[in-house]
Amino acid sequence: MLKVAGLKAGYGRTQVLFGIDLEVRAGEIVTIIGANGAGKTSTLRSISGLTQIYAGEIEFKGRPIKGLPPEEITRLGLAHCPEGRQILQRLTVEENLLAGYIPGRGRSFDEIRTQVYDLFPILRERRHSLASRMSGGQQQMLAIGRSLMATPDLLMLDEPSLGLAPKIINQIFEIIIMLSKSGISLIVVEQNAAVALEIADYAYVIDAGRCSVEGGAHNVLNDPDLKAAYLGA
Amino acid sequence: MALALENVSKHFGSLVAIKNLSLSFDVGSIYSIIGPNGAGKSTVVNMIAGSYSVTSGTIRLGNTALNKLPKHRIARLGVARTYQNLRLFDAMTVLENLEVCFFPQAWPGLLTGAKRMGKAERLAICRACLDRFHLSEVAESLAGDLPYGRQKMLELARAFVTEAPIVLLDEPAAGLNHTETKDMAAMIASLKRADRAIILVEHDMDMVMSISDRIDVLNYGELLCSGTPELVRTNEKVQEAYLGTTEELDDIRKLAQSRRAQGGLRSNAGLVRH
């Protein structure tokens, strides 16, 4: 589905990624964990075409996507749900969904919207509310719903549990599993590494812009050194 | 000194965000306000700090009603706060970010009777504070250049530098990883003092449960439960509304397992260290 090789990237003169290799196979949930500032978000941003890439290759569904504009990458079926949700606060729920819709991927707005509303009934209930009036958990659901409007084959979620109540975090992770079961491949970046590793198949640990460890998510979860470093246990 | 909310309500148009809430906070303790997203936690902080007006009811600090005062007056009376999203002055140094707390006047004078503070004294206080929060070595760095964890620590330092008796912390652990959260919890716990009330709004339950003397749980703008961490943790209503039950976590694990059982994925791949 996605292959990243030797990725070096940054912002202007500030390099933040020093050689990232990672792969997402069709149907997988892959998680990226690491300390703050390690380069997790920058990795996602690079894949989406939002950083300056100095070297390396990015291949999505067998096609090189490095250097393509972000909207073109989304159109190919790679959606990015950014950290901090980035909801359009002054628009309604439904207008936010419309903003995420990409025509020409074979499905009508109404059709996908119905699917998103089935997945998040609260969004249907509040479809005419201003996004700014929604709680944090509802806004996160809206952000995920908006990404789904692009009918992605691969969805990248950056810190989906940030600032949410424990109960809502459970719901979000349940939704991630449902999305996976519906055939979407996922990359999940999380501070909440313990739960992310519970639901993921494969994990990459990023440290100072490099991939330091990778492996089956449960093996990462149960490794004593990694546990001490990233799970605080 | 005590801070008290008496029958406080807050409406946003037709939305009732806080409904007849009464709470009191005494110096000497750490309090946590928890509850679902949208329960009204940040609204409470914003009303105490004067960022929001109250629709009805009274907020008192000692004998002074706060709810008719502008927020800079409330700050000078000794209510300091942090924000959910960092509000540092990115283009100023770390030291300057603390120094601004003492302008336009050195308000600790209001409490201690001391006269207006000179620059040397102000700088000494700020430097001691940076030391206390392990920020001395970055004193001259621009706040905007610090890594996120240290920015959070600076925001915390700024809330404490003026020795305010009431300190409101809005999600101090948000966006921090496990290790940083533990450090943050230890730091906040160490700031507990007989002449200071610390009130935090927080979702990280490890932090909340480990440092709070009392936890107030809000749900739909009303007090659902209030008490010690042990009492709150085991309260069924709180689990149902907010904490989530262990059954829910088990359900997620089961779902994840059934998904993996379909096979063909790299779930069992060994570790590779690069």
DSSP B135-204: -GGGTTSBGGGS-HHHHHHHHHHHHHTT--SEEEEE-TTTT--HHHHHHHHHHHHHT-BTTBEEEEE---
- Which residues from A are below 8 Å from B182, CB to CB? 232
Q: Is B84 on the interface with A (CB under 8 A)?
A: yes
pLDDT score of B109 more than 70: no
Of A169, A212, A231, the CB nearest to B274: A212
Q: Which of residues 170-229 of B touch A (CB under 8 A)?
A: 171, 174-182, 203, 205
Check residue B263 and give its pLDDT. Answer: 72
Tens digits of per-residue pLDDT, A92-122? 999 999 999 988 788 899 999 999 999 999 9
Q: What is the separation, in whole angstroms, between the first and last Cα of chain A?
A: 33
State whether A25 and B203 contact (CB < 8 Å): no
Check residue B111 and give its pLDDT. Answer: 55
For residues B225 and A48, give the distance between their C-alpha atoms in angstroms, rounded to a whole number: 45
pLDDT score of B209 more than 70: yes
For residues A180 and A154, give the distance between their C-alpha atoms in angstroms, rounded to a whole number: 10
Q: Is B250 on the interface with A (CB under 8 A)?
A: no
State whether B274 and A202 contact (CB < 8 Å): no
Q: Which of residues 141-170 of B touch A (CB under 8 A)?
A: 147-149
- Domain residue limits, chain A: 2-83+153-231
Contact, A210 vs A15, CB < 8 A?
A: no
Contact, B169 vs B159, CB < 8 A?
A: yes
Q: Is B91 on the interface with A (CB under 8 A)?
A: no
Q: What is the separation, in whole angstroms, between the first and last Cα of chain B?
A: 56
* CATH number 3.40.30.10 is the correct assignment for the domain at A2-83+153-231: no
Of B37, B256, B274, the CB nearest to A168: B37
Candidates A36, A133, A164: best to mutate against B (most CBs of B within 10 A) is: A36
Q: Is B249 on the interface with A (CB under 8 A)?
A: yes
Q: Which of A65, A122, A219, A224 is nearest to B37 (CA)?
A: A122
Cross-strand pairs, B24: B4
Closest residue in chain A to residue B173, using alpha carbons only = A163
Å between B263 CA and nearest CA of chain A: 10
Contact, A213 vs A21, CB < 8 A?
A: no
Closest residue in chain A to residue B35, using alpha carbons only = A165
State whether A166 and B244 contact (CB < 8 Å): yes
* CA-CA-CA-CA dihedral for B178, B179, B183, B184, to nearest 10: -30
Tens digits of per-residue pLDDT, A174-226? 999 999 999 999 999 998 888 899 999 999 999 999 999 999 999 999 998 88
Of A159, A165, A198, the CB nearest to B203: A165
- Which residues from B are below 8 Å from A173, CB to CB? 252
Q: Is B252 on the interface with A (CB under 8 A)?
A: yes
State whether B178 and A223 contact (CB < 8 Å): no
Q: What's the mean per-residue pLDDT of chain A?
A: 92
Check residue B118 and give its pLDDT. Answer: 79
ipTM: 0.81
- Amino acid identity of residue A69, one-letter, is P
State whether B180 and A162 contact (CB < 8 Å): no
Check residue A2 and give its pLDDT. Answer: 97
State whether B175 and A36 contact (CB < 8 Å): yes
State whether B177 and A230 contact (CB < 8 Å): yes
Check residue B44 and give its pLDDT. Answer: 96
Per the listing, tokens 């944090």 go with A136
Tens digits of per-residue pLDDT, B85-95? 788 999 999 99
Q: What's the mean per-residue pLDDT of chain B?
A: 90
Check residue B105 and give its pLDDT. Answer: 52
Structure tokens at B94: 């770390």
Give the domains, in start order, of chain B with CATH numbers.
1-78+165-231 (3.40.50.300), 88-163 (no CATH)
Confidence of residue A85 (pLDDT cuts 50, 70, 90): confident
Q: At what angle do helices A136-148 and A166-181 cross, to 10 degrees?
A: 10
For residues B74 and B167, give the distance between their C-alpha atoms in angstroms, rounded to a whole number: 12
Among A70-79, A128-137, B119-128, the minimum mean pLDDT is found in A128-137
In sequence order, the 6+-apart residues with CB closer than 8 A to the CB of A215 are: A202, A203, B269, B270, B271, B272
Structure tokens at B72: 């800079």
